[in-house]
Amino acid sequence: MLGRLVGLETEYAIRFAPAAGKRAPGNRAIYRALAEAIGREVSVLPGERRGGEEGRFFTESGASFCYEHLPIEPEGGLIEAGTPECLGPSQLICHQKALDRLLEKAIPVAQQILTERGHPGELGLLKNCRDAEGHIYGAQENYEAEVAKGLALFAYRASLVIVLPLVAIHCVIAWALAIVMMMLLLCVGLPLLGLAAWLVPRWRPSIATLFDQDDSRFERTTARMLWGFDRVLSSVTTAIAGLPFRLFAFRRQRRALLGFLVSRCILTGAGSLAADGRFGLSEKGPAIRRIMRVTAAPGDRPLFDTGNLLKELFGILQLRFSSYTRLFERCQRLQLGLSDSNVAQIAEYLKVGTTSLVLHMAEAGLLEDAPRPRRPIAALHAFAADPGLQARAPIVRRAPMSALEIQRYYLDKAREFLRSTPTPSLEAQELISLWGDVVAELERAPSRLFGVLDWPTKLALVERCGENARAAVRKKVDLRYHELGVGYYAALESNGLARRIVGDQEIEEATRTPPEQTPARLRGELIRQVARSGGEGSAGWDRVRLGKRFRGKVIPLRRP
């Protein structure tokens, strides 16, 4: 019932307060220090090189870290951590907490490394989705799901074949552009700079700063140019090449899940103070712009994100043909862009658990009459903006419903499903019971869920500052609530004021132990093996290479 592969990707924002008179290092240098610190704690193996990723490595638990940034902002990136593929929500919550724990332990070590490299200061990481200026980043959820079946599966596969020539043309143009740009740079740009430096000596320092390793304006400028070309090219091709996904992928699940997902923020919202000072349930919810991704641009912000499938499709650009053929498999990764980063364990568990369960019911055809909001994005925004839980949204062929009523519908369906299942899993029973308790408490008084769900907890902390508190003070509560180890939720948890469902020992074990019966198991074992033997290798989500690049033995990772 809950036995599907699930995973979370979480972006952590970096906070660095340099010591008096010192300069903060770029985020890239901070990431390198954190990566080094994690490598001292657990066995790691570098990731296989893939475009757009930097510094990826995998740990012996099968998890992965990388430095995620846009080409135009190499020093302004975030730490991305991906859980290993887990079999069900309880495994996943444990491994997500293990990633938080690894980073928490790495912070003081990385701080020391940075001090030794001339950057003394205080380092922190925030597991959140929105900064003080409203920039959005954060979490994504991944669920293994049947992409389509019957005629729809045939149409999906056929359309993948039809769009292939377009993808190939895109690749040829992209490569040609990159080559032309490089030639112009090497044959015209660099000689001109050299000539300028030779003719005008006082320009030399300025020209030298272009190539400064810590703050390379040259790198940023060239990346900005290439990024600009790529965006123009990609916006056209991804809009067309992404049609197989928009038209045929996960149609059944999307239809059945829509009402559930737009109302889910009452359970899983992290809470957020908007620029006007009003408190909303979700950090990401208000930023969601569309139901399905249309272009590859980060600002697309869809609820269902097909970015992972588009990456596979355009893997051809990096000569990864196997990523294209993998798209033809029946099971694919359904990715949700609408996902807040939770620090409350129960909120995070409910997020993945209830979604897995609803997906299961959708695939079993039990949600044909699920409430469908007439305007889903407007409904999401209305629910996310209403901590009173009174907002109602128009529903197709039904009276308007509140988020609580929609959740109640799915909960009742889950209970019905549980009763009709001859041998329901213990975990499913516990999950539904927990879901029921939380919905009942939300109906009674959300404030009773202090220390259980994120948004009621954060709301109570913000209110505690008083009505007359300055906006900056209230916003600090909003942000520092999420800081690993020393944040406000961490303070509640360490004082026993927040409920936990996984203990310290399990979390500690999960930092080193990959989840059973998943591809992560073999990955983790191989990483440990290579690390202990002192050999070379690299890891990926779908394979591990033992030995040197192009020469080593490649071991594919499949679900056992």
448 is an interface residue for another protein by CB under 8 A? yes
171 is an interface residue for another protein by CB under 8 A? no
Shortest distance, position 299 Cβ to another protein, whole Å: 9
For residue 484, count CB atoms less than 10 angstroms from its CB and return exposed for 0-12, middle for 13-18, buried for 19 or more. buried
The token duo for 474 is 């209230």
Q: Map residues 332-351 to x or -, x wherever contact with another protein holds by CB under 8 A.
A: --------------x-----
Which single residue is written with the structure tokens 């240098």? 29
Query: Residue 55 region, left (φ>0) first, then alpha (ψ -120 to 50), else beta?
Result: left
441 is an interface residue for another protein by CB under 8 A? yes
Is 245 in contact with 306 (CB distance < 8 Å)? Answer: yes
Choice from 133, 276, 368, 467 touching another protein (CB under 8 A): 133
Q: In whole angstroms, how far apart are CA 431 and each of 73, 237, 457?
A: 42, 42, 21
Q: Which region, judged by CB under 8 A, interacts with another protein, from 1-9, 41-49, 312-320, 467-475? A: 467-475
The token duo for 224 is 């900005």
277 is an interface residue for another protein by CB under 8 A? no
Shortest distance, position 418 Cβ to another protein, whole Å: 14
Is 241 in contact with 89 (CB distance < 8 Å)? Answer: no
431 is an interface residue for another protein by CB under 8 A? yes
Shortest distance, position 59 Cβ to another protein, whole Å: 18
Q: Read off φ and ψ for residue 391, nearest 5 degrees.
A: -60, 140
Q: Which region, judged by CB under 8 A, interacts with another protein, from 354-362, 391-399, 494-502, 551-559? A: 494-502
Choice from 499, 517, 536, 555 touching another protein (CB under 8 A): 499
- The rounded distance, in Å, linking the Cα atoms of 57 and 47 is 4
Q: Map residues 51-80 to x or -, x wherever contact with another protein holds by CB under 8 A.
A: ------------------xx-xx-xxxx--
- The rounded distance, in Å, linking the Cα atoms of 175 and 185 is 15
Shortest distance, position 437 Cβ to another protein, whole Å: 5
393 is an interface residue for another protein by CB under 8 A? no
- The rounded distance, in Å, linking the Cα atoms of 393 and 376 is 9
Comparing CB distances to another protein, the nearer of 217 and 532 is: 217
Q: Which region, judged by CB under 8 A, interacts with another protein, from 47-55, 230-238, 276-284, 498-506? A: 498-506
Comparing CB distances to another protein, the nearer of 253 and 511 is: 511
168 is an interface residue for another protein by CB under 8 A? no
230 is an interface residue for another protein by CB under 8 A? no
For residue 318, count CB atoms less than 10 angstroms from its CB and return exposed for 0-12, middle for 13-18, buried for 19 or more. middle
- The rounded distance, in Å, linking the Cα atoms of 22 and 290 is 43
For residue 165, count CB atoms less than 10 angstroms from its CB and return exposed for 0-12, middle for 13-18, buried for 19 or more. exposed
> In the chain, what is the straight-line distance between the N-terminal and C-terminal CA atoms, in Å?
18
Shortest distance, position 253 Cβ to another protein, whole Å: 25
Summarize the chain as % helix, strand, coil (round to 5).
Answer: 50, 15, 30
Strand partners of residue 539: 47, 544
Is 332 in contact with 252 (CB distance < 8 Å)? Answer: no
Choice from 41, 430, 525, 542 touching another protein (CB under 8 A): 430
Comparing CB distances to another protein, the nearer of 503 and 535 is: 503
488 is an interface residue for another protein by CB under 8 A? yes
297 is an interface residue for another protein by CB under 8 A? no
Choice from 42, 102, 107, 126 touching another protein (CB under 8 A): 126
Burial 249-284 (b: 16+ CB within 10 A, else e): bbebbbebbbbbbbbbbbbbbbbbbeeeeebbbbbb
Shortest distance, position 95 Cβ to another protein, whole Å: 9
Q: Map residues 27-46 to x or -, x wherever contact with another protein holds by CB under 8 A.
A: x-------------------
Specify the 3-state DSSP secondary structure of 118: coil
Choice from 158, 168, 196, 473 touching another protein (CB under 8 A): 473
84 is an interface residue for another protein by CB under 8 A? no
How far is Cα of residue 229 from the mean position of the Cα atoms in its chain?
Answer: 26
Is 450 in contact with 463 (CB distance < 8 Å)? Answer: no
Of 138-157, which residues contact another protein (CB under 8 A)?
none
The token duo for 451 is 């220390």
- The rounded distance, in Å, linking the Cα atoms of 551 and 300 is 40
Is 540 in contact with 64 (CB distance < 8 Å)? Answer: no
Q: Read off φ and ψ for residue 144, nearest 5 degrees.
A: -70, 130
229 is an interface residue for another protein by CB under 8 A? no
Comparing CB distances to another protein, the nearer of 98 and 109 is: 98
Comparing CB distances to another protein, the nearer of 76 and 394 is: 76
Choice from 149, 204, 330, 464 touching another protein (CB under 8 A): 464
Comparing CB distances to another protein, the nearer of 383 and 481 is: 481
Is 527 in contact with 539 (CB distance < 8 Å)? Answer: yes
Q: Which region, judged by CB under 8 A, interacts with another protein, from 8-16, 105-113, 255-263, 523-531? A: 8-16
17 is an interface residue for another protein by CB under 8 A? yes
Choice from 411, 477, 520, 557 touching another protein (CB under 8 A): 477
Give the total of residues touching another protein (CB under 8 A). 63
Q: Which region, judged by CB under 8 A, interacts with another protein, from 158-166, 177-185, 203-211, 462-470? A: 462-470
The token duo for 159 is 């359309």
Is 77 in contact with 68 (CB distance < 8 Å)? Answer: yes
Burial 109-139 (b: 16+ CB within 10 A, else e): bbbebbeeeebebebbbbbbbbeeeeebbbb
Comparing CB distances to another protein, the nearer of 136 and 155 is: 136
Of 503-542, which residues contact another protein (CB under 8 A)?
503, 506, 510
Q: Which residues bind another protein (CB under 8 A)?
A: 13, 15-17, 27, 69-70, 72-73, 75-78, 90-91, 93-94, 124, 126, 131-133, 135-137, 298, 346, 427, 430-431, 433-434, 437-438, 441, 448, 452, 461, 464-465, 469-470, 472-477, 479-480, 488, 491-492, 495-497, 499-503, 506, 510
